[in-house]
Every structure is written in structure tokens, then in C-alpha cells.
């Protein structure tokens, strides 16, 4: 058995290649984050990690992704896909699950460097992992969330078929904000004309789907 079968996993879309994070790619990702991810006046993330990345040089980012990798377990996992365009790291697409073999649910989250936003790349990344989850892993439900005022994220979710699934509140910068939960059932997924190409799944499918 391969000690880390996820190293063989690849998702390919019309413009992107997504692979589980590796150390060299994470260093590239830190540099993308340092160049900016969002308007500094706003905080799109539940954990305000972009407020810290310049101060600690990306140390916290690296630890976070290492931690997710080391905590990976059968049926209870997070895969952080490095998104590359023309060989260059441009952002991160996460897909995670708990008790996947029973619940058949995944959650997703993502971010892109500022210079790569606005061209549909974020939508393409999310479609890639949704097709991966629904068509290759056997998921029935995908969940996501975004702040009430994050209109770009909500537009992506709406056009893919997500529906409102309640709210929670949090204060990432000490100010109360409303976090909107979103749910997508497999049968309601609005699919594009293309299909994601998946390589290397056979080596790790049992670990992911148990």
C-alpha cells in the first residue's frame, strides 16, 4: 500500500488542475495569499487568517494545512486541493467530510488570489469538487456557507443549485455577522457542459469513502 495515496489524486477541468496540497505548493500558496485575497476592509472567512499571514510570514497557514493532512482518517477527512492554472498555484479548494460512509455529505470552501478573481475560476473549482464528490465518491449532499453580505459567493452557490439552510452568527473581527448555511442535494446540482477528469482515485477511494 502507498503510505500517502492522495499524492496520486488529480482533478482536471477545462482551465485548472487540482491536486491535494504538497509542501512545495503550499509555499507558492503563501505567496499568493500575501499578494491579497480580499478587500482589507472586509473579512470573508470565519477564521480571519488573512489578517495574520503577513505578520507571521505564512507560518500559521502552513501549520493549518499540515494539521489537516495529519488528521486525515478514513471517513473523516479534509482534502485541500491546490488549484493551478498553467502550472501556477492560484488558490485553494477544500472539500471535507465527517462519517462520510454513513452520512454521504461533504462541505466545501475555497479562496483565490485577488488577481485571479472575477473570471469564473472560483465557480470552476467548486464544480470540480462537487462532481468529484457526487459522481466519484457517492455523496448525496454538499454543504457550504458564506457571510450574508458576500454576494459573489452567494451568486456562485445560487447558480449551482444550492438552497438556504439556516444561519449562524460569528464575530471574526469582533463584530457580529450573520453566516448563511447552504445545502445542495445531488439531484439539484446545476451542471456545466463539461465533466471533471479524475486520476489516481483508485489508490485512495477506500480511505475517502469508508
Average pLDDT over residues 37-56: 80
Indicate yes or no: pTM above 0.85: yes
The CATH number that applies at residue 55 is: 3.40.630.30
Is residue 44 over pLDDT 80?
A: no
Q: Which 3-state string (H, E, C) describes the chain?
A: CCCCHHHHCEEECCCCEEEECCHHHHHHHHHHHHCCCCCCCCCCCCCCHHHCHHHHCCHHHHHHHHHHHHCCECCEEEEEEEEEECCEEEEEEEEEECCHHHHCEEEEEEEECHHHCCCCHHHHHHHHHHHHHHHHHCCCEEEEEEECCCHHHHHHHHHHCCEEEEEEEECCCCCCEEEEEEEEEHHHCCCCCCCCEEECCCCCHHHHHC
Number of domains in the chain: 1
Task: Please check whether residue 173 lies inside any domain of the structure.
Answer: no
Task: Please check whether residue 145 lies inside any domain of the structure.
Answer: no
Task: Please check whether residue 104 lies inside any domain of the structure.
Answer: yes
Q: Where in the sequence is the domain holding 61, given as residue range(s)? A: 5-140+193-209
pLDDT category at 50 given cuts 50, 70, 90 is confident
Task: Please check whether residue 178 lies inside any domain of the structure.
Answer: no
pLDDT tens, position by position, 65-83: 999 999 999 989 999 999 9
Task: Please check whether residue 117 lies inside any domain of the structure.
Answer: yes
Task: Please check whether residue 131 lies inside any domain of the structure.
Answer: yes
Amino acid at each position: 500500500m502507498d503510505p500517502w495515496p492522495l499524492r496520486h489524486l488529480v482533478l482536471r477541468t477545462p482551465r485548472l488542475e487540482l491536486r491535494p496540497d504538497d509542501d512545495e505548493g503550499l509555499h507558492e500558496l503563501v505567496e499568493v495569499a500575501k499578494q491579497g485575497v480580499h478587500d482589507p476592509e472586509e473579512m470573508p472567512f470565519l477564521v480571519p487568517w488573512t489578517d495574520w499571514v503577513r505578520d507571521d510570514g505564512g507560518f500559521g497557514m502552513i501549520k493549518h494545512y499540515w494539521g489537516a493532512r495529519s488528521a486525515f482518517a478514513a471517513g473523516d477527512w479534509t482534502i485541500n486541493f491546490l488549484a493551478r492554472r498553467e502550472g501556477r498555484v492560484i488558490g485553494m479548494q477544500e472539500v471535507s467530510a465527517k462519517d462520510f460512509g454513513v452520512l454521504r455529505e461533504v462541505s466545501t470552501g475555497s479562496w483565490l488570489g485577488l488577481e485571479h478573481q472575477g473570471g469564473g475560476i472560483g465557480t470552476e473549482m467548486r464544480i470540480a469538487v462537487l462532481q468529484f464528490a457526487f459522481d466519484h465518491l457517492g455523496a448525496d449532499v454538499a454543504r457550504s456557507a458564506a457571510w450574508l453580505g458576500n454576494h459573489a459567493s452567494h451568486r456562485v452557490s445560487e447558480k449551482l443549485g444550492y438552497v438556504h439552510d439556516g444561519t449562524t452568527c460569528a464575530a471574526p473581527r469582533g463584530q457580529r455577522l450573520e453566516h448563511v448555511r447552504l445545502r445542495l442535494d445531488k439531484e439539484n446540482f446545476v451542471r456545466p457542459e463539461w465533466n471533471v477528469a479524475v486520476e489516481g482515485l483508485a489508490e485512495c477511494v477506500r480511505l475517502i469513502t469508508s
